[in-house]
Every structure is written in structure tokens, then in C-alpha cells.
Amino acid sequence: MGREDIKVVAQNKKARHDYFIEQSFEAGIVLSGTEVKSIRLGKANLKDSYASIRDGEAFVHGMHVSPYEQGNIFNKDPVRDRKLLLHKQEINRLIGYTQQKGLSLVPLKLYFKRGRVKVELCVAKGKKLYDKRRDVAKRDADREIDRRLKSNNN
């Protein structure tokens, strides 16, 4: 078995800034043909999207897939709810996580794996403002340390 080909189409960078990532799952997603063609062209956006579980099924809300230009009547609503494909035991585990206080389901990235569109879904805990500030301060300090080390080596 070789390295699996994964082509990332869209990432939710804001999620890493706004949430602590607890655990992640890989899920398939139900799409129409024109949506897949549009995603292949990179016309998908995960910003402000989230997932929920309803009637024992997982759905992603707020994911924007631009209409395919040659799709005419086959195009669907760009921000419609899309069903996620997960095993029953994974859905049960996600239900357990979402019932805990402060945990939510957030899609991190949308990618192709072996020709199929997949979503990396994560269980996330919201960051407070001071957590975000601490992360920014740590990143700036690390950058400054790297900069000083490089200037000392030269």
C-alpha cells in the first residue's frame, strides 16, 4: 500500500483559531454531480459551517458550494444542508460528545481521497478571547525566537 493521494479543496482555518480540536473523524458526504464538479474546481467554502446530528444522521450546515457554470437546471442551492456518511457507532460517539457542555461539531477540511469527496469533521471546544490572545502571543514569541536564532547562526 502506497501513500494515499489526498487533494485538499477547502480548509476552515478560522475553526483552528476559534476552537480547541478534541478529536477528528473522516466522513463521506452526499453530493449531486454538479456539486462534485464545482468542488473539483475548488469552488467550496467551509467558513462559518458546522455539523449537527438529527434523527440519527449527521448533516453539515452552512457549507457553500458555488453552482457549476455548465450545470444549468441540475445545480442545487449553494448552502443547502448536506448529509454526512458515517458509521452508526461513530454517530453514537458524536452524539455523546455533543451532549457534553461546550462541545460542537465543526468541519475542518474538504478533500478528495481516492476520487471521493471527504470531510474532516472534528469535535471542538470553543476558545475564550483570552485563549486566542495567548495563542497569538505564543506564536509571536516562537517567531521571535526563531528569528534571533537565525541571526545568531549567520
Residue 47 lies in a domain: yes
Q: What is the pLDDT of residue 107?
A: 92
**Of the candidate ranges 59-63, 71-75, 148-152, the one whose mean pLDDT is the lowest:** 71-75
Residue 98 lies in a domain: yes
Cβ neighbours of residue 98 closer than 8 Å, sequence gap 6 or more? 52, 53, 104, 105, 123
Q: Tell me the percentage of the chain whose pLDDT exceeds 70.
A: 94
- pTM, entire model: 0.72
Phi, psi of 79 (to 5 degrees): -115, 25
Q: What is the pLDDT of residue 119?
A: 92
Integer CA distances (angstroms), 68 to 1, 21, 52, 74, in order: 35, 32, 26, 9
Residue 89 lies in a domain: yes
The boundaries of the domain holding residue 111 are 6-127
In the chain, the number of structural domains is 1
Residue 51 C-alpha from the chain's centroid? 10
Which one is predicted more confidently, 88 or 79?
A: 88
Q: Answer for the pair 66, 43: CB distance below 8 angstroms, yes or no.
A: yes
| Per-residue pLDDT band at 1 (split at 50, 70, 90) | very low
